Amino acid sequence: MTGYYIFISIYLYLLQWPGSFCDTGKQSCCYPNSGKPASEFLIHGLWPNNNDGSFPSNCDPNSSFDSSQISDLINSMDAEWPSMACPSSNSHSFWAHEWEKHGTCVESVFNEHDYFKAALNLKGKADGILQMLSSSGIEPNDNSYSLSSITEAIKGGIGYTPVIECNQDESGSSQLYQVYLCADTSASNFITCPVFPTESCSSDIKFPSF
């Protein structure tokens, strides 16, 4: 396989809670054409990264997203990787952004199809996050929970410490927004993160309903 490849150390794998995307009051939220997504953590991206936290981007301007390359993945993508941005869409522009900004930097390893397939496969390994939280008494019910309890619940289920990213709801309360996990250079297994993104959460954070 030919194409661009920038040496990377890990992949950052991002999962997003849709309730926290939708209730900030700062951005509109629209369900995709496929309908309201399930109440679960949804894929945001699979980003090649370096051990020092830096990352390559937009590596091949000649490699545009082609939806025909992932025709067999569309149903899974609609369910697991939908766009919640307005206006409502088929999510293709979101997927195009992710491929062109991040995927093109490893296209000597992954063609477009295999890049998205790798992200979907990782979702299968992290698909129980909501249940992991629930088993620790943490539910998406608009209540607040300690950041440490959320981190430990996910670590207990997956085996690796996640990084939790927060945003703020309309009232300014810190809330669970995204879960960051690290994957190896084959994007097939989770690993210990060599560097952690900056925390953006308070010690107690809200877990909004969706």
Rounded to an integer, what distance in angstroms lies between the CA atom of residue 57 and that of residue 55?
Answer: 7
Q: Which amino acid is at 50?
A: N
Rounded to an integer, what distance in angstroms lies between the CA atom of residue 73 and that of residue 6?
Answer: 26
**Cα 83–chain centre separation:** 12
Rounded to an integer, what distance in angstroms lies between the CA atom of residue 42 and that of residue 39?
Answer: 9
Of 9, 7, 20, the closest CA to residue 207 belongs to 20
Residue with tokens 């206006």: 87
Rounded to an integer, what distance in angstroms lies between the CA atom of residue 129 and that of residue 147?
Answer: 15
Between the alpha carbon of residue 30 and those of residues 22, 85, 144, 208, the distances in Å are 8, 6, 25, 17
Partners of 191 in beta bridges:
182
Q: Active-site positions?
A: 44, 98, 102
Cα three-residue angle 12-150-163, rounded to 5 degrees: 20
